[in-house]
Amino acid sequence: MVACRDGQPPNPPVALTPQPGIKVDSILPTEIALERFLSSETRVDSLTHGARSRDDLIARFFDAISSRDSSALGALLVTRAEYGFLYYPTSIYSRKPYELAPDVAWMLNSGNNAKGAGRLLARLGGKRAVHIGTTCGKESDEGSNRFVTDCITRYRTEAGREESRQLFGAIMERSGRLKFLSFAGDF
């Protein structure tokens, strides 16, 4: 169906042709993409306000969930600056075959973290869960970073049931400080 305005035929379609002198950055070298990603960030060389031990990090995690404090929970995660300056340069996502632009990798990570945090707070938030212990299955190093993954956490619910779940994903350690890289768990 063709619509006419004031008896005039519709405007002809516009041809989408490149204009001289206009460049579109569709593929950038990793170094330039990272520079752009970090252009508005203040340089960091450590995990700011990171926990001093895995037990301390997990205790803060349970405190944040029990009090349903999304800000405290978010403070346990690697920040955008920490991601760009400390994590991304030595991660598998900075090189082939997994190579992703830092902004895309950050967007995917932070989106998964938001979803994971939402699930944690919806299912455990505001309830008194008591941490019993956590066992992690895999440790790996990437540059100056150490990662612990495959962690199963045992806890006692308010109702007194003992449960074991993967409540979070990777824990990142750098220079004796720890934060979560991921809240992707089995919830």
Average pLDDT over residues 124-149: 96
pLDDT of 1: 46
Average pLDDT over residues 124-133: 95
What the block records as the tokens of 123 is 């299912």
- Other CB atoms within 10 A of residue 59 CB: 13
What the block records as the tokens of 159 is 């109702």
Query: If you average pLDDT over every residue of the chain, what do you get?
Result: 90
For tokens 């306000």, the residue is 49
Confidence at 187, pLDDT banded by 50, 70, 90 = confident
DSSP character string of the chain:
----BTTBPPPPPPP--PPTT----SS--HHHHHHHHTTTSPP-SS-TT-BSSHHHHHHHHHHHHHTT-HHHHHTTBPPHHHIIIIIGGGSGGGSTTT---HHHHHHHHHHHHHHHHHHHHHHHTTS--EEEEEEEEEEEEETTEEEEEEEEEEEE-TTS-EEEE-----EEEETTEEEES------
pLDDT digits (tens, 9 = 90+) for 17-58: 555 655 545 578 999 999 999 999 999 999 999 999 999 999
My answer on whether omega of the bond before 89 falls inside 30° of 0, hence cis, is: no
Find the Cα–Cα–Cα–Cα dihedral 50, 64, 108, 174, rounded to 10°. 10
Query: Model-level pTM?
Result: 0.84
Share of the chain above pLDDT 70, in %: 86
pLDDT of 75: 98
pLDDT digits (tens, 9 = 90+) for 150-174: 999 999 999 999 999 999 999 999 9
Average pLDDT over residues 47-73: 97
Q: Comparing C-alpha atoms, which of 181, 180, 187 is closest to residue 58?
A: 180
